[in-house]
């Protein structure tokens, strides 16, 4: 599967690469994960900073290019979808394919890690940080806000990539707040599939208990903490 079909534009700007490495503050004794190595530009710099690097790449051509570029004993490059794995690591640093952004949020909400620095599409960052009741407040917003603290580190223009995307990207730092289970992530998605329904009606339809009184409130008005209580079965 070609990464460009996944919405990937290769990060080529050395200044942006360095900014990501600096923002991650990787220590020599730490393990780093990169999902989507591309041609290995960021991979090479990360491998210089850490005790172990695990890079995941789904495209065989890019996997081969990364292997040829990153020749260090502490670098392990995997021809695999990182979101299908549960590696043990301290730091994640990645320039993610735009089309896998939702997968990333759901995945990182379930893994054990210390911090992450990622490049994401600016519009997507706006979605995951949207407040309850807003048009863009969705399941992925609730999952991100329940599980993580996000901090924007600055916009990255299209000229930093090859080919240049038609949208802007944001560099984002992420810290874990609360680790979710796969069942809880699934429950949030199920609840928000009925986001315009009244909460009581949605819970009844999904077969969930409802001991709190939500009145005429709609699902999309629920704060992340309320969503979490519901999806843990505590009302």
Helix (H, G, I), strand (E, B) or coil at 172: strand
Same domain, 107 and 218: no
Residues spanned by the domain of 219: 184-231
Same domain, 205 and 130: no
Same domain, 142 and 225: no
Same domain, 88 and 8: yes
Q: Which is it for the CA torsion 177, 178, 182, 185, positive or negative?
A: negative
Average per-residue pLDDT for the chain: 92
Same domain, 150 and 78: yes
Q: Which is it for the CA torsion 153, 157, 162, 163, positive or negative?
A: positive
Same domain, 109 and 86: yes
- Specify the CATH number for the domain of residue 111: 3.40.50.150
Residue 153 · residue 23 · CB < 8 Å: yes
pLDDT tens track for 182-208: 999 999 999 999 999 999 999 999 987
Q: HSE on the CB side for 2, CA within 13 Å?
A: 3
Q: Which is it for the CA torsion 119, 153, 108, 80, positive or negative?
A: positive
Q: What local confidence, expressed as pLDDT, does residue 98 receive? A: 86
Q: What does residue 169 show for φ and ψ, rounded to 5 degrees?
A: -115, 160
Rounded Cα distance between 11 and 160, Å, is 6
Same domain, 95 and 203: no
Question: Per the structure, how many domains does the chain have?
Answer: 2
Same domain, 166 and 123: yes
Q: What local confidence, expressed as pLDDT, does residue 6 receive? A: 45
Same domain, 171 and 209: no
Same domain, 116 and 32: yes
Distance of CA 181 to the CA centre of its chain: 15
Tens-digit pLDDT string for the chain (235 aa) = 444 444 568 999 999 999 999 999 999 999 999 999 999 999 999 999 999 999 999 999 999 999 999 999 999 999 999 999 998 899 999 998 888 999 999 999 999 999 999 999 999 999 999 999 999 999 999 999 999 999 999 999 999 998 988 888 999 999 999 999 999 999 999 999 999 999 999 999 998 776 678 889 999 999 999 999 998 864 4
Per-residue CA distances from 133 to 117, 187, 194 (Å):
28, 19, 14
Q: HSE on the CB side for 66, CA within 13 Å?
A: 31
Same domain, 97 and 174: yes
Q: What local confidence, expressed as pLDDT, does residue 31 receive? A: 98
Rounded Cα distance between 82 and 22, Å, is 23
Structure tokens at 202: 């949605």
Same domain, 58 and 155: yes
Please tell me whether the peptide bond between 163 and the residue prior to it is cis, using omega within 30 degrees of 0.
Answer: yes
Kindly give the residue spans of alpha helices, DSSP state H, lying in 80-214.
101-108, 122-128, 139-147, 182-192, 199-206
Q: What local confidence, expressed as pLDDT, does residue 210 receive? A: 66
Q: What angle do CA 149, 55, 175 make, to 5 degrees?
A: 10
Structure tokens at 106: 């759901």
Q: What local confidence, expressed as pLDDT, does residue 215 receive? A: 85
Q: What local confidence, expressed as pLDDT, does residue 214 receive? A: 86
Let me know if 116 is exposed, middle or buried by CB neighbors in 10 A (0-12, 13-18, 19+).
buried
Structure tokens at 22: 């600096």
Q: What local confidence, expressed as pLDDT, does residue 1 receive? A: 41
């Amino acid at each position: 599967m070609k990464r460009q079909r996944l919405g990937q534009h290769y990060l080529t700007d050395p200044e942006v690469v360095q900014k990501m490495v600096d923002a991650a503050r990787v220590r020599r004794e730490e393990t780093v994960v990169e999902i989507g190595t591309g041609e290995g530009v960021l991979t090479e710099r990360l491998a210089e900073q850490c005790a172990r690097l695990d890079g995941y790449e789904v495209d065989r051509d890019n996997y081969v290019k990364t292997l040829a570029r990153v020749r260090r004993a502490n670098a392990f490059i995997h021809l695999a979808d990182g979101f299908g794995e549960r590696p043990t690591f301290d730091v994640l640093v990645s320039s993610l394919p735009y089309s896998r952004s939702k997968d990333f949020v759901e995945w990182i909400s379930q893994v054990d890690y210390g911090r992450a620095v990622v490049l994401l599409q600016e519009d997507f960052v706006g979605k995951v940080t949207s407040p309850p009741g807003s048009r863009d407040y969705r399941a992925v917003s609730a999952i991100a806000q329940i599980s993580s603290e996000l901090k924007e580190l600055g916009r990255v223009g299209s000229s930093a990539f090859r080919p240049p995307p038609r949208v802007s990207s944001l560099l984002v730092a992420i810290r874990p707040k609360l680790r979710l289970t796969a069942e809880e992530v699934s429950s949030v998605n199920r609840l928000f599939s009925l986001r315009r329904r009244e909460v009581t009606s949605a819970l009844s339809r999904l077969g969930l208990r409802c001991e709190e009184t939500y009145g005429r409130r709609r699902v999309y008005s629920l704060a992340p903490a309320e969503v979490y209580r519901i999806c843990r079965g505590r009302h």
